[in-house]
Chains A and B, each alone.
Chain A
Amino acid sequence: MNLETLIEFFSLQNPNVRYVVLGSVLLSVSSAIVGCFTFLKKKALLGDVVSHAVLPGICISFMVSGTKDPFLLIIGAFLSGWLSIIILDYIVANSKIKEDTATGLSLSVFFGVGILLLTVIQHSGNAAQSGLDSFLFGKAAALVGKDLLAFSIIASIILIVVYLFYKEFELVCFDQEYARSIGVPVKRIELLLTSITVLAVVTGIQAVGVVLMSAMLITPAAAGKFWTNKLSVMLLLASLFGAFSGIAGAYISYTAPSMPTGPWIVVVLSFIAILSFFFAPEKGILIKLFKQRKIRLQLLEENLLKSFYKIGEINADFTAARSNEELIEIRRFSTAQFKEGLSRLSNQGFIKKTNGTWSLTNDGLQKGMRVVKLHRLWELYLTKYLRIAPDHVHEDADTIEHVITPEIEERLEKLLEYPEADPHSSNIPYN
Chain B
Amino acid sequence: MDSLIIISTGSLVAICGSILGCFLILRKMAMVSDAISHAVLPGIVIAFMLGSDLDSVWMLVGAGLVGVLTTFLIEFFHQKGKLQTDAAIGVTFTWLFAIGVILVTYYAGDAHIDQDCVLYGEIAYTPINPIILKNGTVLGPKALIVLGAVLLIIVLIVSLFYKEFFLTTFDPSFALATGLSASLWHYVLMSLVSVTTVASFESVGAILVVAFLIVPPASAYLLTTRLSHMILLSCCFGVLSAIFGYYLAYAIDGSIAGAMATVAGVIFGVVFAIAKYLEKRRAISNLEQMTLETSK
B145 within 8 A of A: no
- A119 to B86, Cβ gap below 8 A? no
CB distance from A136 to the nearest CB of B (A): 7
B85-115 interface bits toward A, Cβ cutoff 8 Å, 1 = contact, 0 = none: 0110111001101110110011000000001
| Option from A44, A124, A289 in Cβ contact (under 8 Å) with B86 | A44
| Option from A39, A98, A108, A283 in Cβ contact (under 8 Å) with B82 | A283
Residues of B within 8 A of A225 (CB): 83
Chain B binder among A4-12, A99-107, A319-327: A99-107
Q: A112-B265, A218-B90, A288-B80 are in contact. Are A100 and B275 (CB under 8 A)?
A: no
- B255 to A94, Cβ gap below 8 A? no
Residues of chain B in range 238-292 having any CB-CB distance to chain A below 8 Å: 248-249, 252-255, 257-262, 264-265, 268, 272, 275-276
A201-228 interface bits toward B, Cβ cutoff 8 Å, 1 = contact, 0 = none: 0000000011110110111011001100
Residues of chain A in range 216-250 having any CB-CB distance to chain B below 8 Å: 217-219, 221-222, 225-226
Q: A97-B218, A112-B264, A115-B257 are in contact. Are A212 and B211 (CB under 8 A)?
A: no
Instruction: Report the number of A-B residue pairs with Cβ-Cβ less than 8 Å.
Output: 206
B13-31 interface bits toward A, Cβ cutoff 8 Å, 1 = contact, 0 = none: 0000000000001001111
- A117 to B254, Cβ gap below 8 A? yes
| Option from B98, B261, B262, B272 in Cβ contact (under 8 Å) with A215 | B98
CB distance from B256 to the nearest CB of A (A): 9
- A270 to B255, Cβ gap below 8 A? no
A114 within 8 A of B: yes
Chain B binder among A150-158, A179-187, A258-266, A357-365: A258-266
A45 within 8 A of B: yes
A43 within 8 A of B: yes
A5-39 interface bits toward B, Cβ cutoff 8 Å, 1 = contact, 0 = none: 00000000000000000000000000000000001
B168 within 8 A of A: no
| Option from B30, B33, B275 in Cβ contact (under 8 Å) with A95 | B275
- A108 to B208, Cβ gap below 8 A? yes
Closest to A213 in B: B94
- B86 to A42, Cβ gap below 8 A? yes
A277 within 8 A of B: yes
Closest to B82 in A: A283
CB distance from B76 to the nearest CB of A (A): 8
Q: A101-B214, A109-B265 are in contact. Are A123 and B28 (CB under 8 A)?
A: no
- A39 to B87, Cβ gap below 8 A? yes
Closest to B84 in A: A42
- B207 to A111, Cβ gap below 8 A? yes
| Option from B31, B101, B222, B260 in Cβ contact (under 8 Å) with A112 | B260
Complex CA gap A91/B275 in Å reads: 12
Residues of B within 8 A of A100 (CB): 28-31
- A120 to B253, Cβ gap below 8 A? yes
Residues of A within 8 A of B34 (CB): 48, 104, 107-108
Question: Which of A48, A95, A112, A215 lies at the interface centre, i.e. has the most chain B CB atoms within 10 A of its CB?
Answer: A112
- A260 to B101, Cβ gap below 8 A? yes
Q: A221-B87, A277-B83, A285-B81 are in contact. Are A108 and B101 (CB under 8 A)?
A: no
- A215 to B91, Cβ gap below 8 A? yes
Closest to B275 in A: A95
Complex CA gap A211/B42 in Å reads: 14
- A95 to B91, Cβ gap below 8 A? no
- A108 to B207, Cβ gap below 8 A? yes
Closest to A55 in B: B258
Question: Which of B94, B102, B213, B258 lies at the interface centre, i.e. has the most chain A CB atoms within 10 A of its CB?
Answer: B94
- A109 to B211, Cβ gap below 8 A? yes
- A114 to B31, Cβ gap below 8 A? no
Q: A101-B25, A123-B254, A266-B98 are in contact. Are A95 and B272 (CB under 8 A)?
A: yes
- B275 to A113, Cβ gap below 8 A? no
B131 within 8 A of A: no
B69 within 8 A of A: no
Q: A112-B258, A137-B115 are in contact. Are A260 and B102 (CB under 8 A)?
A: yes
- B81 to A108, Cβ gap below 8 A? no
A116 within 8 A of B: yes
CB distance from B258 to the nearest CB of A (A): 3
- A97 to B101, Cβ gap below 8 A? no
A273 within 8 A of B: yes
A414 within 8 A of B: no
B45 within 8 A of A: no
Complex CA gap A123/B258 in Å reads: 14
Complex CA gap A235/B82 in Å reads: 20
- B211 to A108, Cβ gap below 8 A? yes
Closest to B31 in A: A100
- B102 to A104, Cβ gap below 8 A? no
| Option from A44, A52, A95 in Cβ contact (under 8 Å) with B222 | A95
| Option from B31, B207, B260, B272 in Cβ contact (under 8 Å) with A45 | B31
- B261 to A112, Cβ gap below 8 A? yes
CB distance from B205 to the nearest CB of A (A): 8
Residues of A within 8 A of B260 (CB): 112
- B91 to A273, Cβ gap below 8 A? yes
CB distance from A237 to the nearest CB of B (A): 15
| Option from A44, A96, A101, A105 in Cβ contact (under 8 Å) with B90 | A44
| Option from B38, B77, B102, B218 in Cβ contact (under 8 Å) with A105 | B218
B119 within 8 A of A: yes
Residues of B within 8 A of A143 (CB): none
- B33 to A104, Cβ gap below 8 A? yes
- A267 to B95, Cβ gap below 8 A? yes
Complex CA gap A45/B99 in Å reads: 20
22 intermolecular pairs with C-beta atoms under 8 Å apart: A39-B87, A44-B90, A45-B31, A100-B29, A101-B214, A103-B30, A109-B261, A111-B207, A112-B258, A113-B261, A115-B255, A117-B258, A212-B97, A218-B91, A219-B90, A219-B91, A260-B101, A263-B101, A263-B102, A264-B102, A270-B98, A274-B95
Which 3 A-B pairs rank lowest in CB-CB distance, beginning with the nearest? A112-B261, A109-B265, A215-B94
Other A-B contacts than A47-B90, A218-B86, 5 sampled, CB-CB below 8 A, are A105-B265, A112-B260, A214-B90, A218-B90, A283-B82
